[in-house]
Amino acid sequence: MEDRMLTDGNLWLSRPRPADIATIVARCQEPSIGEWVTIPLPYGRSDAEAFLTDISDPGWTDRSPTWAIRPAEDGPVIGMIGLGSHDETAAEIGFWLGSDVRGKGVMSRAVRLVCDFGFDPDGLGLVRISWRAFVGNYASAAVVRRNGFHYEGMDRLGGLQRGVRRDSWLGARLVTDPPGPVADWPAHTFAGPDLDSPAVEQGHESGGRA
């Protein structure tokens, strides 16, 4: 598929490029990202290079696009978001966000843009977008809950992070689901302020190794 920039006029999502490598490396030093993401630790330049050449670049030809989240069209990377294809009609969303831009609705807007593109017949034409996060990633749950995702249960020891198996929460949004907040999430998926925050899902490599 061709590169597709997505924007709402305040946020820009575009394909990550070699010029972004140093910023990606710096962002991935944050302990709060490594806590939930399946990135290698320590994370170095070779890891970011491999992310571009082995995951991001081929993903754009395999219906698994990854976007760098930017505050301006040519701005620096402040996060990453992507869709990992399951088949022609389903994909899994994954994302992370730098700590200095959390709590401002940035990730919620990015997820909205990506879901709109994913469900659009002129985009990917998906029927289902799934989500997974390690149990305890309340910020990630809050983001997708605001964007029409329904809770679908827990996958016991279903995620693998650096050799350790962890329980994962599961959710999804269908093309027929409205985009607004969903009220049927169980109480154990809430904790503290309902803030936009880092969260990357281990199921999709755009989050997992960027």
Phi, psi for residue 39 in degrees, rounded to 5? -70, 155
Predicted local distance difference test score (pLDDT) of residue 192: 61
* Dihedral (Cα; 77, 148, 2, 14), 10-degree rounding: -10
Strand partners, 129: 91, 173
Query: Is residue 208's pLDDT more than 80?
Result: no
Residue 185 has pLDDT above 90, yes or no: yes
What does the pLDDT average to over 164-170? 97
d(CA 5, CA 32): 27
Q: How confident is the model at residue 140 (pLDDT cuts 50, 70, 90)?
A: very high
Q: What is the pLDDT of residue 72?
A: 97
Q: Calculate mean pLDDT across residues 47-67.
A: 97
Backbone angles phi, psi at 159, to 5 degrees: -115, 150
Mean pLDDT of the residues in the chain: 92
24 sits in which H/E element: helix 21-27
User: Tokens representing 42?
Assistant: 């320590």
pLDDT grade for 198, boundaries at 50, 70 and 90:
very low
Looking at residue 25, what is its pLDDT? 98
Q: Which whole-number Å values give the CA distances from 140 to 36, 123, 160, in the listed order?
A: 10, 24, 17
Q: Alpha carbon of 123 to those of 82, 144, 172: distances in Å?
A: 14, 20, 18
**What predicted TM-score, i.e. pTM, was given to this entire model?**
0.92
Does the domain formed by 6-208 have CATH 3.40.630.30? yes
Domain positions in the chain are 6-208
Six-digit token pair at 125? 């034409």
Phi, psi of 92 (to 5 degrees): -120, 135
- What does the angle CA 159 – CA 134 – CA 153 come to, to the nearest 5 degrees? 90
CA distance 7 to 5: 7
Q: What percent of the chain has pLDDT over 70?
A: 91
141 C-beta neighbours (distance < 10 Å), count: 24
> Which positions ≥6 away from 68 have C-beta within 8 Å?
13, 14, 15, 16, 17, 20, 77, 79, 80
Inform me whether the pLDDT recorded for 156 exceeds 90: yes
Is residue 201 over pLDDT 60?
no
| Residues 26-41 pLDDT 10s | 999 999 999 999 999 9
| Token code pair at residue 55 | 């995951």
Question: For 67, what's the count of Cα atoms within 13 Å in the CB-facing half-sphere?
Answer: 28
Residues across the chain: 210
Per residue in 114-130, pLDDT (tens digit) is 999 999 999 999 999 99
> Which of 133, 134, 12 minimizes the C-alpha distance to 71?
12
